[in-house]
């Protein structure tokens, strides 16, 4: 450091001396020699050089000058290129883009007919600040979520504080109001350049859609669904908007396009709008039949997402676990006192909406200790398909053979969380079983609470021995998971109980199912009486999707770290479904096929007790193909959860339906996955 300073001093001071008092410069190194005695020889030489030069050329270029010169040169070149780029006609700069589906369909003669309502999912919608603490000064009506996220880096703790909700009520904390961004801008781009709805909107616009017949039903995705109505009247606004669009567009019914969590949000809306006023919207029993032509669910998370479990349980998903494996200690060490994961966990646990995505239907749907509907799924094949889009006949024969021989090797997807790799594979008879009821009795307030700093995760309140009880049970299925979460996060689950339910209804006519907490669970509600309506499940397939996890207790059981984590060392069983502590299954990277397709493939197909009026359902699957080149960006045939919104085939389907086509006209079901077979294995009373 000292040498740097000295060097800098040289740069500034020396030339002046050189030019004016040439001989004095010989003395300075002597003085400095006393100081260090290492660098001076270099400096001597340097000075001599400089002196020589300065004699020849009085105007000498110094280091700083060179730096400036370089920066200036770079800037100028950059500006020049930028200028040229802007001067070029738009068509020249872009490579040859394939024709967007909207343009093609417009030539076919499609025009805007039915108004379209877009319902964004979790995370993708923007949130902006309306009232905040002093630390958020100057952020009024600026985006806290979405956009460039600059505030995370500038003031991370302030940011987290504003995004969390109240721990008891699940509503705003006092003095903070964060609200959903309204309008199409809410979720067209999540971050600059990362489209969500933008491509779909653009293609809709090409066939004539605009503000008056295209509406984004933005809502605060952190709240539970009923709370969006209580706090923001979001459901009432949506109802009024749909009614308005229905009237102003010549009494054409709307086409609703929900995505991800928006799917169950809209399911909630369908029940809400027809329920009587104090709890519901009072639209009367014919409202949906009158106003809605089709619901085109994209990447629907009808029956929940296993990812949520790991998220709630240990605030990590595949990506986080992977980082942890690569650089152990980075996330766990209290770097800069940030405690990243703990903070994330604390904030995300205040978001009620996450609980709506927990696996629904228990063991009947998701499988138990020894059984799961997906069993026999061959991950290798899927991976090959994932890598190489062309289907290989030989391979498929091979897999059929496998299916015959290796029945006992099936992955036990039913065990959503298991402690240790062995526990995830052993037959259930060899597993120690521990009554989960014992949990509740042992849980006591913890003594380690006080030294644990200000980060509050509910793990701090659990005593150490009760934490140790959790792994003793070895494996958890979708049913016991709920108990587990009740145990590790009692406050969160108490809030959640009031807003969501994850069971299967025995008798749908039971008056208790009129409560709003059942409305977002397709297994506990009836679809509205609207025989002309259509329900589509548009989902991507062909990407390994998280389905169950191998956990281990955290090695350092200090109070500040989350006591469990994914065991990323658990790798590779024979058919390769296990990787980094996560068992994969077919899906769209977030939602497994089972959750996305089951309701449309079986639960609502025909006239069932969940679908008393026999609404037509269609399953449209889109086989994932990775982008062929970098220029394609995120691909036009992607099947990934968010990238599918740029999938040409999906856009075409949506456009055709919006322009008036029915499900049968666009080709009925297209199925690539095993969803039909999987559904058949599920014994659900219909």
Q: Which residues are catalytic?
A: 260, 588, 641
By the rule CB under 8 A, 45 interacts with other proteins:
yes
By the rule CB under 8 A, 107 interacts with other proteins:
no
From 18-26, 238-246, 375-383, 421-429, span contacting other proteins (CB under 8 A): 238-246
Whichever of 254 and 682 has its CB closer to other proteins, that residue is 254
By the rule CB under 8 A, 632 interacts with other proteins:
no
Whichever of 71 and 628 has its CB closer to other proteins, that residue is 71
By the rule CB under 8 A, 336 interacts with other proteins:
no
Q: What does the CA dihedral 330, 336, 341, 343 come to, rounded to 10 degrees?
A: 180
Q: Residue 629 CB, nearest distance to other proteins (Å)? A: 21
By the rule CB under 8 A, 448 interacts with other proteins:
no
Binding residue count for other proteins, defined by CB under 8 A: 67
d(CA 137, CA 228): 26
Residue 632 bridge partners (DSSP): none
DSSP secondary structure string for all residues of 49-95: HHHHHHHH-SS---HHHHHHHHHHHHHHHHHHHHHHHHHS-HHHHS-
From 231-239, 310-318, 379-387, 391-399, span contacting other proteins (CB under 8 A): 231-239
Contact predicate 585/364, CB 8 Å? no
From 138-146, 284-292, 536-544, 585-593, span contacting other proteins (CB under 8 A): 138-146
Q: Residue 662 CB, nearest distance to other proteins (Å)? A: 27
By the rule CB under 8 A, 510 interacts with other proteins:
no
Whichever of 89 and 435 has its CB closer to other proteins, that residue is 89
Query: Which of positions 175-194 make contact with other proteins (CB under 8 A)?
Result: 177, 179-180, 182-185, 188
By the rule CB under 8 A, 152 interacts with other proteins:
no
Q: Residue 612 CB, nearest distance to other proteins (Å)? A: 31
Sign, Cα dihedral of 285, 289, 290, 296: positive
Q: Residue 381 CB, nearest distance to other proteins (Å)? A: 41
From 50-58, 492-500, 545-553, 655-663, span contacting other proteins (CB under 8 A): 50-58
Give the H or E element holding residue 566: strand 564-566
Contact predicate 397/559, CB 8 Å? no
d(CA 358, CA 310): 10
DSSP secondary structure string for all residues of 415-479: -SEEESHHHHHS-GGGS----THHHHHH--B-STTGGG-S---GGGGB-HHHHHHHHHT-EE-HH
By the rule CB under 8 A, 38 interacts with other proteins:
yes
Query: Which of positions 241-300 make contact with other proteins (CB under 8 A)?
Result: 241, 243-244, 247-248
DSSP secondary structure string for all residues of 215-284: EE----TTS-HHHHHHHH-HHHHHHHHHHHHHHHTTSPPEEEEEBTHHHHHHHHHHHHHHS-TTTS----
Structure tokens belonging to residue 372: 């799961």
Q: Residue 199 CB, nearest distance to other proteins (Å)? A: 11
From 39-47, 550-558, 566-574, 603-611, span contacting other proteins (CB under 8 A): 39-47
Structure tokens belonging to residue 84: 């040229």
Q: Residue 128 CB, nearest distance to other proteins (Å)? A: 9
What helix, strand, coil percent values describe the chain, rounded to 5? 45, 15, 40
Query: Which of positions 192-211 make contact with other proteins (CB under 8 A)?
Result: 201-202, 205-206, 208, 210-211
By the rule CB under 8 A, 49 interacts with other proteins:
yes
Whichever of 98 and 134 has its CB closer to other proteins, that residue is 134
Q: Residue 530 CB, nearest distance to other proteins (Å)? A: 23
By the rule CB under 8 A, 233 interacts with other proteins:
yes
Whichever of 236 and 463 has its CB closer to other proteins, that residue is 236
Whichever of 6 and 402 has its CB closer to other proteins, that residue is 6
Contact predicate 293/114, CB 8 Å? yes
From 60-68, 306-314, 320-328, 653-661, span contacting other proteins (CB under 8 A): 60-68
Whichever of 116 and 320 has its CB closer to other proteins, that residue is 116
Burial of 450 (0-12, 13-18, 19+ CB in 10 A): exposed
d(CA 570, CA 552): 10
DSSP secondary structure string for all residues of 107-141: HHT----S-EEEE--TTTS-EEEEE--GGGTT-BT
Contact predicate 623/389, CB 8 Å? yes
Nearest CA among 340, 408, 326 for reference residue 371: 408
SS3 state at 387: helix
By the rule CB under 8 A, 574 interacts with other proteins:
no
Q: Residue 291 CB, nearest distance to other proteins (Å)? A: 14
Task: Candidates 31, 34, 107, 137: give the one binding other proteins (CB under 8 A).
Answer: 137
Q: Residue 61 CB, nearest distance to other proteins (Å)? A: 6
Q: What are the backbone dihedrals phi and psi of residue 178, each rounded to the nearest 5 degrees, phi first?
A: -115, 130
Q: How many CA atoms lie within 13 A of 264 on its CB side?
A: 37
Whichever of 60 and 483 has its CB closer to other proteins, that residue is 60
By the rule CB under 8 A, 631 interacts with other proteins:
no
From 3-11, 505-513, 562-570, 673-681, span contacting other proteins (CB under 8 A): 3-11
By the rule CB under 8 A, 69 interacts with other proteins:
yes
By the rule CB under 8 A, 148 interacts with other proteins:
no
Task: Candidates 26, 30, 41, 58: give the one binding other proteins (CB under 8 A).
Answer: 41
d(CA 345, CA 458): 9
Whichever of 11 and 431 has its CB closer to other proteins, that residue is 11
Nearest CA among 13, 248, 235 for reference residue 114: 248
For the chain, give the number of residues. 686
Rg (CA), the chain: 30
Sign, Cα dihedral of 661, 666, 671, 677: positive
By the rule CB under 8 A, 90 interacts with other proteins:
yes
Binding residues for other proteins, rule: CB under 8 A, are 2-4, 7, 36, 38-39, 41-42, 44-46, 49-50, 52-53, 56-57, 60-61, 65, 67-73, 75-76, 86, 90-91, 130-131, 134, 137-138, 140-141, 154, 177, 179-180, 182-185, 188, 201-202, 205-206, 208, 210-212, 232-233, 236-237, 240-241, 243-244, 247-248
């Amino acid at each position: 450091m000292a040498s740097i300073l000295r060097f800098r001093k040289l740069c500034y001071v020396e030339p002046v001396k050189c030019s004016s008092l040439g001989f004095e410069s010989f003395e300075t190194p002597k003085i400095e020699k006393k100081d260090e005695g290492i660098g001076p020889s270099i400096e001597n030489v340097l000075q001599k050089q400089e002196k020589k030069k300065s004699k020849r050329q009085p105007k000498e270029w110094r280091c700083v000058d060179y730096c400036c010169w370089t920066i200036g040169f770079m800037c100028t070149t950059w500006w020049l290129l930028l200028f040229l780029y802007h001067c070029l006609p738009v068509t020249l700069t872009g490579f040859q883009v394939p024709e967007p589906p909207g343009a093609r369909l417009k030539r076919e003669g499609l025009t805007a007919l039915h108004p379209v309502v877009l319902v964004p999912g979790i995370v993708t919608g923007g949130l902006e600040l309306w009232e905040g603490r002093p630390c958020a000064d100057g952020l009024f009506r600026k985006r806290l979520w979405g956009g460039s996220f600059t505030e995370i880096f500038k003031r991370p703790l302030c940011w987290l504080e504003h995004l969390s909700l109240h721990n008891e009520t699940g509503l705003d904390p006092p003095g903070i109001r964060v609200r959903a961004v309204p309008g199409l801008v809410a979720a067209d781009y999540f971050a600059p350049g990362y489209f969500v709805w933008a491509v779909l909107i653009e293609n809709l616009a090409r066939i004539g859609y605009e503000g008056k017949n295209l509406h984004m039903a933005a809502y605060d995705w952190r709240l539970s669904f009923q709370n969006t109505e209580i706090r923001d009247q979001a459901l009432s606004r949506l109802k009024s908007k749909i009614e308005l669009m229905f009237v102003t567009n010549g009494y054409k019914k709307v086409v609703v396009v929900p995505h991800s969590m928006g799917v169950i949000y809209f399911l909630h809306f369908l029940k809400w709008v027809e329920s009587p006023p104090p709890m519901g919207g009072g639209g009367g029993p014919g409202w949906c039949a009158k106003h809605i032509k089709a619901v085109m669910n994209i990447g629907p998370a009808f029956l929940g997402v296993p990812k949520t479990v790991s998220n709630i349980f240990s605030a990590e998903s595949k990506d986080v676990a992977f980082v942890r494996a690569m650089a152990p200690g980075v996330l766990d060490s209290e770097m800069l006192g940030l405690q990243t994961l703990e903070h994330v966990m604390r904030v995300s646990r205040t978001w009620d909406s996450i609980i709506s995505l927990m696996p629904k239907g228990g063991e009947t749907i998701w499988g138990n200790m020894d059984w799961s509907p997906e069993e026999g799924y061959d991950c290798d094949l899927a991976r090959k398909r994932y890598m190489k889009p062309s289907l290989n006949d030989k391979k498929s024969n091979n897999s059929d053979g496998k299916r015959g021989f290796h029945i006992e090797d099936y992955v036990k997807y039913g065990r959503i969380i298991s402690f240790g790799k062995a526990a995830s594979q052993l037959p259930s008879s060899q597993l120690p079983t521990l009554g989960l009821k014992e949990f509740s009795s042992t849980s006591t307030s913890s003594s380690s609470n006080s030294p644990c700093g200000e980060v509050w995760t509910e793990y701090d309140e659990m005593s150490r021995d009760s934490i140790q009880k959790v792994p003793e049970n070895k494996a958890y299925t979708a049913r016991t998971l709920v108990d587990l979460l009740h145990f590790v996060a009692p406050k969160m689950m108490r809030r959640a109980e009031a807003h969501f339910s994850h069971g299967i209804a025995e008798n749908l006519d039971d008056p208790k199912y009129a409560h709003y907490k059942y409305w977002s669970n397709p297994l506990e509600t009836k679809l509205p009486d609207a025989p002309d309506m259509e329900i589509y499940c548009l989902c991507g397939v062909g990407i390994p999707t998280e389905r169950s996890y191998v956990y281990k207790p955290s090695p350092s059981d200090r109070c500040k770290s989350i006591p469990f984590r994914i065991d990323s060392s658990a790798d590779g069983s024979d058919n390769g479904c296990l990787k980094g502590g996560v068992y994969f299954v077919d899906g769209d990277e977030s939602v497994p096929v089972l959750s996305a397709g089951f309701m449309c493939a079986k639960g609502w197909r025909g006239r069932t007790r969940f679908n008393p009026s026999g609404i037509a359902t269609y399953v449209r699957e889109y086989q994932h193909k990775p982008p062929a080149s970098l220029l394609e960006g995120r691909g036009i045939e992607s099947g990934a959860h968010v990238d599918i919104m740029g999938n040409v085939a999906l856009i075409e389907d949506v456009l055709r339906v919006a322009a008036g086509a029915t499900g049968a006209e666009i080709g009925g079901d297209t199925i690539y996955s095993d969803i039909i077979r999987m559904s058949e294995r599920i014994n659900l009373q219909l």
